[in-house]
Amino acid sequence: MKKTLLLALSAAALATPALHAQIAVKQGGKMDIKIERLTRDFNEAKAKSRTAAADTLVNVIVTCHDAETVAGNIQTRGGQAHQLSATLLTAEIPASRLAEIAALKEVENIAAPQQFQPLMTTSRRMTNADKVQRGEGLETPYTGKGVVIGVIDQGFQYNHIAFKDEQMKTRVHSIWNLSVKNSSPVKGVPVGQNYDLIAGAAGHGTHVTGIAAGSRIAGNEYYGMAPEATIVMIPSTLSEDQIMKGAQYIKSVAQELDYPWVTNMSFGSQIGPHDGSGTDDQYLSNLCGAGGIIVGAMGNEGAQKIHAAHEFTAAGQIKKIVVSAPAEGYAYNCIDLWGNATDGKQHMEVTPCWYNPTTRKYTALSDEDMKKVAPTYGGEINAQNHKEHYTFYINHTAFLNFTGNTQARFALEIKSLEPNITFHAWSNSGWGEFERPTSDVLAGNSSYLVGEGAASIPNAIAVASYTGAGNWTAASDGQSYMVPGETSGSMSSFSSPGPWLGNEKKPTVSAPGGNIASAFNKYESFKKEDVFITNAVNSRTGAKQTNYNLTSITNSDYYGIKSGTSMATPAVTGIVALWLQANPTLTPEQVKEIIRNTSTRYQASDTDGWGAKSGYGKIDAYAGLKVALELSTVNGIGETTIGSDSPVTLQKSANSWRILFNRAEPVANISVMTMSGNVVSRQALCGMQPGNEAVVSLEELPAGAYLIRISTQGADLTRKVIR
């Protein structure tokens, strides 16, 4: 059962040693910090008002023993509920009824859903996906056919030609716009609606989906990693509850079609425990399994000092954290602090305060002070991981007005109650970085930034970014542009590094995410003269428009450049779809093992092949596909070489052919012959098992044309090779 820490805060000025702010531990609380504060504010407003306080519906996530019973109770109290599992549901509950629902014996915890944000030709080439799609080195090409790619995002242009096949029919199986209240899934593209209407998305979802699964039409060079995959689009505000519902739906579509699936999550946050213990982390991780993979973005905070950590060696030691003013366009500061101990006990005293740069002194903020500047603040023993947790959201304008000092900084003082206590603290992108104005303050750094909401899901593939193209040519003026400091093939400076506080190493892998060309949404935040637009195609045929000046949103679709781990993530999503086409029962652990064994190591990697910035290196679609085939124990789907007529997969190179057996073969004979039928070499094989391999060397053969014949009990294949 969750325990809530109530902060007893002193209003006196902090000295060194610190004030001994007493923190009482309240037993038996079922609400997280945000919901408890919201309930308290509602009750206070109701007590002060002569009329009834506004009873708004509150979005929550409910963990319980019996979701069906709890859902019924919510509905009878004027709310709505969506059951995710037997023990988990998302809901909208009237603020006046939150306490009643929390009091139900079936309810374990009620939490506010976290809000996440989107993280913003060369890509295929640099990952060797082009080899897979052309069939180079393999008997047949892999295109993601028969695999569901689900994308949870915002800013989708549903009718972009990138999502149509060669007959101009949509490849979008269904769309569920979760940003619209009480919406339902729609098969195909909604009639009369070409995009998702989510303001400020800047076409993010369109670009992301194009990288993962954009169609290859009429010679258009801008196509995705898996251009024949089945697409499911989930427009969303990217709240935690919507993400869980969307992921559940994507899996249900794949199950209905009997396809494997991979879900792309190009969003995140730095607020959370960074250990995979969150309710959403656990639920989404458990959705994964054989033939079901989630791929998540690491984040774009690699150059921001929004993390701090410390290990106390003795009781009574004190450290402070100071956060800078938020970036332009942001209204809040945030500090989210987590202890490492999982024993459900309090090990620290935390006192909020403010720092005066002129006097270089700290002043404590009382509970009454905090009510004036912080919409959410408090401490708890977290219900999921039993760690000590403190969170502070500070309205920066209200804070400056309260202090009367335009240079004031929000700060925390942390005091250890016993030795060997470690904590980590994070801010969020744009919400202020950690400064060190005095010697007793922890310096901020850019470590431990595995993004919450996606990359921190235990079973997810966590993706970092390296730069794709060094430059690009704008369609509007024909000029070449580049981003200073980012060179092709180098790790992107913005890519968030690990390590992770969970039980494995993250990031898992890196992929091209800097300067990536893909589909643009022409209906939202679109400017034809934008130098990031690289190409326009006829929206009816897909042919490249030869006169860019004559293009418009009525006759053209557009492609252009974006950067971010948001762009690296769908590259991996599409590549995993290729692997699932070859081996539809791959598990998350098998995919990670393929990545560990086949990725191209980055020069800064550690001795075991892993680096905090690059993971296990740069993903190699071609090498990974070969391993996926070796791991296959069932027939593939779509246009693969696995099946009754094709007992082997052929990997061809100039000097040798590698023959991979897709199934058990008691007897097999491999012969190399001249075109006139003379046998040059022969191998007689017995007891071949799936994944066994035979190699035919061509190095000693004179130049010319030859035939390679592979005979088994059920098939006889002959292929021509030019030496």
Domain count, the chain: 4
Token pair of 489, please? 């093939």
Residues 150 and 165 in one domain: yes
Residues 469 and 607 occupy one common structural domain: yes
> What is the CATH classification number for the domain harbouring 323?
2.60.120
Please check whether residues 520 and 551 belong to one and the same domain.
yes
How far apart are the C-alpha atoms of 174 and 170, rounded to whole Å?
A: 10
pLDDT at position 28, please? 56
- 201 and 262, same domain (yes or no): yes
Strand bridging mode 516-520 / 533-538? unpaired
Q: End-to-end distance of the chain based on CA atoms, in angstroms?
A: 71
Under 8 Å CB-to-CB from 535, ≥6 apart: which residues? 221, 222, 475, 517, 544, 558, 559, 560
Same domain, 485 and 620: yes
* The predicted structure's pLDDT at residue 141: 55
Is the CB of residue 152 less than 8 Å from the CB of residue 262? no
Peptide bond into 507 cis (omega under 30): yes
Residues 285 and 376 in one domain: no
200/158 same-domain check: yes
Which among 78, 111, 144 is the end of a domain? 111
For residue 695, give its domain range.
Answer: 645-722
CA quadruple 595, 597, 601, 604: dihedral sign: positive
Q: Report strand pairing: 318-323 vs 434-435.
A: antiparallel
Interatomic CA distance for residues 630 and 415, integer angstroms: 55
Domain identity same for 196 and 246? yes
For position 339, what pLDDT does the model report? 96
Note whether 707 and 581 are same-domain residues: no
Does residue 633 form part of some domain?
no
pLDDT tens profile 550-583:
999 999 999 999 999 999 999 999 999 999 998 9
Residues 106 and 203 in one domain: no
pTM of the prediction?
A: 0.85
Do residues 252 and 155 share a domain?
A: yes
**Residue 610 within a domain:** yes
CB 507 within 8 A of CB 615: yes
Q: Quick one: which of 450, 452, 462, 468 has its CA closest to 225?
A: 468
Provide the CATH number for the domain around residue 697. Answer: 2.60.40.3080
Q: What's the CA dihedral at 54, 57, 63, 66 to 10 degrees?
A: 100
Give every residue of the chain whose pLDDT is below 50, as ranges: 1-25, 27, 121-122, 124, 138, 140, 634-645
